[in-house]
C-alpha cells in the first residue's frame, strides 16, 4: 500500500495464540476490485500464519487508493522487477 492509500475497514479474529519467538507472516489476497468515486477499492482476505499452528488470525480488509493512469514502471513483473 502506498502513502496515499487507506486501509478501511479491517476485521480479524484471533483464533490461536502466537507466542514470543514464533515466526509469523501476514498475507493477503485480493478477491474483488472496483473504481468508485475516483478511488480504486480492493476487497481482500487477510490472515496471519504461524510456523507452529498454521492460520492463527483470518480476516477481511478493504484498501482504497487514488486512481492514476498505469505506466510502464507501475506494472509489477515477476520477480518484482521494479522494487
CB 41 within 8 A of CB 66: no
Q: 75 in a domain, yes or no?
A: no
Task: Identify the pLDDT of residue 73.
Answer: 56
Residues 73, 55: Cα–Cα separation, whole Å: 34
Q: 46 in a domain, yes or no?
A: yes
Domain range for 11: 6-66
Q: Per residue of the chain (83 residues), give pLDDT as tens.
A: 667 778 888 999 999 999 999 999 999 998 998 888 778 888 999 999 998 889 999 999 998 888 776 665 555 455 544 44
Q: 43 in a domain, yes or no?
A: yes
Total count of domains within the chain: 1
Element (H, E) at 34: strand 24-36
Q: 38 in a domain, yes or no?
A: yes
Q: What CATH number has the domain bearing residue 40?
A: 3.10.129.10
Q: Which residues contact 69 (CB under 8 A, 6 or more apart)?
A: none
Flag whether the pTM goes above 0.85. Answer: no
Mean pLDDT of the chain: 82
Q: 18 in a domain, yes or no?
A: yes
Amino acid at each position: 500500500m502506498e502513502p496515499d492509500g487507506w486501509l478501511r475497514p479491517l476485521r480479524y479474529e484471533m483464533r490461536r495464540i502466537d507466542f514470543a519467538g514464533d515466526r509469523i507472516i501476514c498475507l493477503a489476497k485480493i478477491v474483488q476490485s472496483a473504481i468508485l468515486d475516483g478511488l480504486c477499492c480492493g476487497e481482500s482476505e487477510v490472515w496471519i500464519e504461524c510456523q507452529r499452528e498454521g492460520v492463527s488470525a483470518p480476516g477481511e480488509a478493504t484498501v482504497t487508493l487514488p486512481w492514476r493512469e498505469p505506466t510502464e514502471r507501475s506494472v509489477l513483473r515477476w520477480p518484482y522487477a521494479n522494487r
